[in-house]
Amino acid sequence: MPAHRPASFGKLTLLPVAPSVWDAVVFALVLGVLALVAFGGRETLQPLAVGAGPISLDPAVLPHYALRTTLRMLAAMAASLVFTFAFGALAAKSRRAEMVLIPMLDVLQSVPVLGFLSFTVTGFMALFPGQVLGVELAAIFAIFTSQAWNMAYSFYHSTKTLPRDLKDLSDSLRLGAWRRFWTLEAPYAAPGLVWNAMISMSGAWFFVVASEAISVGPTTVSLPGVGSYVALAIAQHDLKAVGWAVLTMLAVILLYDQLMFRPLVAWAEKFRLDVSDAEPPRSWALDLFQRADFLRGLFRPVADILSSVASVRMGKPIAAPPALTRAWRSPWTERAWYVVLIAIAVIAAWRAIAFIGGAVGLAEVLHVFVLGFYTLARVAVLIAIASLIWVPAGVWIGLRPRWAERLQPVTQFLAAFPSNLLFPAVVVLIVRFDLTPDIWLSPLMILGAQWYLLFNVIAGTRAFPHDLLEAAASMRVKGWGWWRRVILPGIMPSYVTGAITASGGAWNAAIVAEVANWGDTKLTAHGLGAYIAEHTKDGDLRRVVLGVAVMAVYVVLVNRLFWEPLFMRAARMLRAD
């Protein structure tokens, strides 16, 4: 009897599979998610007086608040993914674009969330006057700024370290830019990008208080959400409400870990270059969707059509005219590009000086640079300490897939835990033992940022070729020699990605960590974060711009003079191998 084959029409394949119980479960799950999205999204269209009313500390409202916060974070994550693919790919493939985009990325990641809010809240509210949607977009944009830079760095660094033999293979197959992106570059970057998306999602919780409880000068708006709930609980010294908020965060993190990130981690495992004997990570949700043959068969024609269109429209390389190619590669074009960049930088600096100089003197500018050096010293010390702790821990977890699977939700929760909730204990301890705020407020800066290091080291270790580990074991390379000659060179690009984003996160966290309040007690450390926080609260945009500009100068200099040479050296070593 001949085998029963699927019916086909051209490139379209229709699976004659009857619906099963798995299809029913998946359909119910998808329908429930869509219903929640519709329920939470409809409130963004309400008038501002109705949709952004008073925040309640009743625990019964927390499920609704958690839904609103999660939808904002997922919307920001979708925008971050689009930004990552566009920004990271362009920076990695074009040297001239790289000269502009990577320093720009350094500047963007150094701008604190409150720095963005200072300029975006009024603009978004003006777009939708009297509507919740304007404030929602401002909150989503603020969350986006805490997610996108880390993911863009990850994709950029993965594309830059793409093995040369894979590039040569794609050239020999004459893959177009579009097909090369989706068949080579995006899959190669997928494992690291998934882990960085995970930490970006968790890191957004750190700034969700500032994103939902918006206060910039005379503008004060509190959107329903876990962040605004936490802000009100801290303001009213309600530790019981803080506890309910923490439990809600834990529940939400467990849900999106099981339904989104754990399936993504298991799915991205198939893009690893080597085959390991270790058991790959598993996900019940991914297994469930893979068993739903009928639903996948319904959507397969749509996927086939899109694939066919992409192959026809974008699959073939487009050759530029020879004259245009010669002009683009000409040394004169290179010089002209440098002139344009220098002119733009001079104009931007002149406009910034003109704006700031109207209210700020030279003495204050020099004082702000001194404050920036204080914050820089804190960041450097904290990154060094975090590296000593989390690089060995990340390697240990990355080499043990089962432990990585078990610790995944735990590390996500720890990364998401807002340091704001620790302010009461920190303030009490500092006052009780008469400690120096300049030193003992510093750990609050690294509480959220340190996880960028851990997650990137885990991702780098998971991507490390298994045959090299076996070769090192067969040659009995152990101890410090194993670290120095085997694992550290292999994970160095991932470590640098984590260190850059961790330092950027620490600079961002300085704005909330260098000023701690609890009741009538206020502790302030000397630093740039405290300076920006103080003038953001007062609505002094000139001094906010000054503080953000000085922070950007420090971040760009450190990244260009230290982290970039380290990454380029590691990338050359990997490509040589």
Domain boundaries, the chain: 61-271+280-310+360-576
Helical axes 186-212 vs 62-93, angle rounded to 10°: 140
- pLDDT of 179 higher than 60: yes
- At residue 119, φ and ψ (nearest 5 deg) are -110, -20
Residue 237 near residue 423, CB atoms below 8 Å: no
- pLDDT of 542 higher than 80: yes
- Tell me which residue has tokens 């809010």: 117
pTM: 0.78
pLDDT in tens, 344-390: 878 877 877 777 877 788 889 899 999 999 999 999 999 999 999 99
Nearest to 75 by CA among 31, 155, 139: 139
Q: What is the mean pLDDT of the chain?
A: 79
Report residue 171 as tokens: 């050239």
Which residues share a beta bridge with 213? Answer: 222
Cα–Cα dist 265/199, whole Å: 13
Pairing of strands 515-518, 219-222: unpaired
What is the model's pLDDT at position 408?
A: 76
CA 572 → CA 96, 490, 492, 568, 577, distances in Å?
20, 11, 11, 6, 9
What is the model's pLDDT at position 303?
A: 56
Which residues share a beta bridge with 516? Answer: 523
The top-scoring range by mean pLDDT among 116-130, 145-159, 339-353 is: 145-159
Cα–Cα dist 186/193, whole Å: 9
Q: Which residue has the higher pLDDT, 219 or 265?
A: 265
Cα–Cα dist 210/196, whole Å: 22
Cα–Cα dist 425/441, whole Å: 11
What is the DSSP secondary structure assignment for residue 558, as one 8-state letter? H
What is the model's pLDDT at position 323?
A: 57
Domain 61-271+280-310+360-576 is found in CATH 3.40.1410.10: no
What is the model's pLDDT at position 418?
A: 67
Cα–Cα dist 245/230, whole Å: 7
Decide: helix, strand or coil at residue 549.
helix
Query: pLDDT tier at 317 (50, 70, 90 boundaries)?
Result: very low
Cα–Cα dist 463/492, whole Å: 12
Start-end of H helices in 329-400: 331-357, 362-398
Report residue 523 as tokens: 């502790």
Which residues share a beta bridge with 220? Answer: 215
- pLDDT of 460 higher than 50: yes
> Residue type at 264?
L
Residue 140 near residue 76, CB atoms below 8 Å: yes
pLDDT in tens, 235-265: 787 888 888 988 998 899 888 888 888 888 8
Q: For the chain, how are helix, strand and coil distributed in percent, rounded to 5?
A: 80, 5, 15
Q: Is 9 exposed, middle or buried (0-12, 13-18, 19+ CB in 10 A)?
A: exposed
